[in-house]
Structure 1
Amino acid sequence: MTKTAIPETPASTSAKILYRPFGIASSMIGGLAASAIFKQVYKRAVKGDKADVPGPLQSEYLLRQILVAAAIQGVIYSVVKASIDRAGARTFQKWTGEWPGS
């Protein structure tokens, strides 16, 4: 059993304008949520003294550790952002009857 996509009709200019503040707010919330999720995932994945997230300019970490942390962070951020953006668009559509996308 597969879910079908919602048929999109072109968004009106007013829907795009009304959605903009809603989209900005949901993106900020998504960024905060993604950051919190990443910190917890990284803390559980890397046990020991260096459970803090490595920054690219910290010389005590190997390049491999920094790149793995950055890749995990990117995946988590992308999935959380896409999920929140999609949920926000669906909620906006339920409230207004218009899809906010192009």
Structure 2
Amino acid sequence: MKASKVAYKPMGFVLGALSGMIASAVFKQTWKVVEGEGDAPDALDEDRPWRQILLAAAIQGAIFAVVKATVERSGAQATRRVTGTWPA
């Protein structure tokens, strides 16, 4: 196994947890702006309309994907700076 991959493994776990926390905070703030409410609906919230549930899911998915890609890419670049190779 390449040194860069070994070096990236523990950092990847930490970055994964960090990206989840960041994405969750960004989504909560975004939802407040979009709907003017604090709590986003989930799929089992029977008092919310389909439109609101699907909108929340789409926004949340997009935010999580962008944050995850940003954090993973930054971690890979940091690993390359430290080890000299890309952690693939």
Q: Counterpart of 1:100?
A: 87
Q: How many aligned positions are there?
A: 88
Task: Describe how 1:56-95 pairs up with structure 2 within 5 A.
Answer: 56-95=43-82
**TM-score normalized by structure 1?**
0.80
2:38 equivalent to 1:38 = no
Unaligned stretches of 5+ in structure 1? Answer: 1-11
**TM-score normalized by structure 2?**
0.92
In the alignment, which of 13, 19, 40 is matched to residue 8 of structure 2? Answer: 19
Unaligned stretches of 5+ in structure 2? Answer: none
Shift of 1:17: 2.2
* Divergent runs of 4+, >3 A: none
In the alignment, which of 52, 76, 95 is matched to residue 39 of structure 2? Answer: 52
Pairwise CA RMSD: 1.2
**Relative to total residues, which structure has the larger helix share, 1 or 2?**
2
Identity %: 42
- Answer with 1 or 2: which has the greater Rg: 1
